[in-house]
Amino acid sequence: MLSDRSGIPLPPPDAGALHAPGCYVRRRVDGFVAHFCASPETLRSLRRLTRDALAGRDVGAEAVESAQLVVSELVGNAVRACGDRVPLVVEVYATSFGLAVNVHDPDPGLLPERAATPLDSAVAEGGRGLGLLDLLAPGWHVRNSAIGKQVRCRVPVRAA
């Protein structure tokens, strides 16, 4: 039987395999880690992968949808900051405090900046992403990583 570094048993390699075209996906007992070069196709695949990896985890559809939105927003921000086809690493997994969504990109110097656009603005065409993160993943933060930087988010899960 396989186990992760903490000794927790992992399911056999073919059990519930997670796949996403254009991504190298490593399963975790509680989610996944995906390595890829960002594109519209891989973003769609990551949203599906997020849904599939969290299915059956008893976290609720609302939390899964929020995690999918957070993945989309963070990957979109990385592409806007670093360019198309930027190599990224996305981690999504269930924890005792909710759902973790972490996105690593290669540039530690390009930090997220808030636009002065209110979330309820009827005329703005963009600039709401970090406000959306504040609502879906309160307390998100950025830290340096071996890859460059990591944006760390925690999506709360409502008790059933």
What pLDDT shows up at residue 13?
43
pLDDT given at position 45: 87
Q: Taking 50 as the threshold, does the pLDDT of residue 1 lie above it?
A: no
Secondary structure class of 97 (helix, strand, coil): coil
| pLDDT greater at residue 87 or residue 112 | 87
| pTM strictly above 0.75 | yes
pLDDT at 30 over 50: yes
- Residue 146: count other Cβ atoms within 10 Å of its Cβ: 6
23-118+126-155: which CATH number, 3.40.1310.30, 3.30.470.10, 3.90.228.20, 3.30.565.10? 3.30.565.10
Q: pLDDT digits over 128-159, tens only?
A: 677 888 899 998 999 998 889 999 999 999 86
Q: Give the ranges where the chain is alpha helix by DSSP (H).
A: 40-54, 61-82, 129-136
User: What's the pLDDT at 2?
Assistant: 43
Cβ–Cβ < 8 Å for 68, 33: no
